Chain A
């Protein structure tokens, strides 16, 4: 019988929530990596029991964890304890938590600084992995979006990581600047119809696209309008919070920006606003229905200074028209005294019929809807603050 596995990253560990296809009764795992910040965990589309997790702390830095049994057990890919740390030919074995920016001359433009808050040049410093995106076809290939913003790839199951330096080196990298949350690469979208095409987004530099597998990149921010930068229509500098696509229509992108919900019908070459009748167009996550490419979900947040829902009412907004016309989804969600936030990576959908929609809050609740958002129920109420939610639909 089919079912779903919801992967939840929190400020104090990871949790795996499982249910059958009815999505009424849930099993909540004990915490994995208790006490560590889990910015993201995600399963391989090619091998659902292969999961990757980003485990980090301000004390001990970045750890990559991998599970090959659907989250029951985890290990750091690389050298197990007691084994030699070099291969027979003397080369170092994998070091799964080693993320070193590429400064080789082959990349053309090794980049050493970006803009700091005060406008001065600041050295690139690795801080953590925000997002892990497994390949659509190869369980051993996975991309990592990191802070300070860069894109890394592993092709050996997370044992070793190498930067795709063409992104930072494409020309505007020295002008990128961090937002309040840091300069993070938080969104990675792989085009299922075009192996060479990938979209990424950086706060607060904007969105970028490659059409050649990550060798070369260009900004795709035309049409964005951001009043918090000196030139509101600049090529870079936009605080993109999240981008989503439907796999059947990868040229259509939906974006939740710092302000404004946007849509592109030409793979990011141009954008237009679809905020329509939303009560506020600020928010973090955006997601697309599994079976209806024009049905999208956002969670409006009052402002960039308060970061909680308007009027103390937690409402998911759904558009069935690809934007502009939005309806509030409230059934089962708290409609008074609710002051939580929903972060950018904390919403996901399953592909069951009917489509399930899930999101987690900074108050530690994970809500699920088994009917495309018409009604909601808490799966669990008292986790640590939720940073990310991903869903696997299991056969």
Chain B
């Protein structure tokens, strides 16, 4: 399944990509399978979105899609159909901070 992923600017720079990315995800499309595919293709992103050891989402990183905040969903819950079909992107977002 070809899905679309957007990253915050700092991670795009680390991964050396511009704009939206397309990722081939095998099997069910979940947060875990998307991030596994992302990190396999861009290993320099390992540890930046979820912790190396616990695999938990880093505190200041959020996951949005289809105008929903999916950050607190189970990593193994299927993502919305529109993400799985590539109609909508899976958005990795850095939390805003002032100052």
Chain A contacts to B: CB under 8 angstroms = 35-36, 57-63, 76, 78-79, 81, 85, 93, 95, 97-100
- The reply to whether A98 and B94 contact each other, CB–CB distance below 8 Å, is no
Docked-complex contact A81 and B42, CB < 8 angstroms? yes
Q: Is there contact, CB below 8 Å, between B44 and A76?
A: yes
**Once the chains bind, are B46 and A97 in contact (CB under 8 Å)?**
yes
Determine if B47 and A59 form an interchain contact, defined as CB atoms under 8 angstroms apart. Answer: no
Question: Contact partner of B47 among A62, A85, A93, CB < 8 A?
Answer: A62
Q: Is the interface of B mostly helix, strand, loop or mixed?
A: loop
A58: chain B residues within 8 A (beta carbon): 60, 97
Question: A78 touching B61 by the CB < 8 A rule?
Answer: no
**Contacting residue for A61 out of B15, B40, B48, B97, CB 8 A:** B48
Residue of A nearest to B50 (CB): A61
- Contact (Cβ within 8 A) B10 A98: no
Which single residue of chain A is at the shortest CB-CB distance from B53? A100
Q: Which of B14-66 contact A (CB under 8 A)?
A: 14-16, 40-44, 46-49, 51-53, 58, 60-61
Is B94 a contact partner of A60 (Cβ separation < 8 A)?
Answer: yes
Interface size band for B: 20 to 34
- Complex alpha-carbon distance, A372 and B27, angstroms: 66
Q: Does B70 contact A (CB under 8 A)?
A: no
Q: Assuming the A-B contacts A35-B10, A95-B52, are A59 and B60 also in contact, with contact meaning beta carbons closer than 8 angstroms in the complex?
A: yes
In the complex, residue of chain B having the shortest beta-carbon distance to the beta carbon of A95: B46
* Contact present for A61 and B44 (CB under 8 Å): no
Residues in B neighbouring A98, C-beta threshold 8 A:
46-47, 52
Complex Cα spacing A99 to B47, Å? 10
Given contacts A35-B10, A81-B16, A100-B52, contact A59 B94 (CB under 8 A): yes
User: 1/0 per residue B1-14: CB within 8 Å of A?
Assistant: 00000001011001
Contacts of B11 in A (CB 8 A): 60
Contact assessment for A59 and B10 in the assembled complex, using a CB-CB cutoff below 8 Å: yes
Is B58 touching A60 in the complex (CB atoms < 8 A)? yes
- Point out the residues of chain A lying under 8 angstroms from B46, CB to CB: 95, 97-98
Measured CB to CB, the closest approach of chain A to B41, in angstroms, equals 8
17 contacts between A and B (CB under 8 A): A36-B10, A60-B14, A60-B49, A60-B58, A60-B61, A61-B47, A61-B51, A61-B58, A63-B44, A63-B48, A76-B44, A79-B43, A79-B44, A81-B42, A95-B47, A97-B46, A98-B46
Q: Name B52's closest neighbour in chain A (CB-CB).
A: A98
A78 vs B15: C-alpha distance in the bound complex, in angstroms? 13
Q: Chain B residues near A85 (CB, 8 Å)?
A: 40, 43
Question: Bound state CA distance, A56 and B68, in angstroms?
Answer: 29
A394 to B62, CA, bound (A): 45
Is A95 a contact partner of B14 (Cβ separation < 8 A)?
no
Across the A-B interface, give the 10 residue pairs with the lowest CB-CB distance, nearest first: A60-B48, A59-B60, A79-B43, A59-B94, A97-B47, A98-B52, A85-B43, A76-B44, A61-B47, A61-B48
Residues of A within 8 A of B51 (CB): 61
Max chain A CB contacts within 10 Å: which of B42, B43, B51, B60?
Answer: B43
- For the complex formed, measure the closest distance between the CB of B97 and the CB atoms of chain A, giving whole angstroms: 8
A81 pairs with B15, CB closer than 8 A: yes
Given contacts A35-B10, A36-B10, A76-B44, 5 further A-B contacts (CB under 8 A): A57-B10, A62-B47, A76-B14, A81-B41, A85-B40
Nearest CB of A to B27, in Å: 19
Contacts of B14 on A, CB cut-off 8 Å? 60, 63, 76
Q: How far is the CB of B68 from chain A (nearest CB, A)?
A: 21
Q: Which residues of B contact A59 (CB under 8 A)?
A: 8, 10, 58, 60-61, 94-95
- Also in contact, A78 and B44, with CB within 8 A (given A59-B10, A60-B94, A63-B14): yes
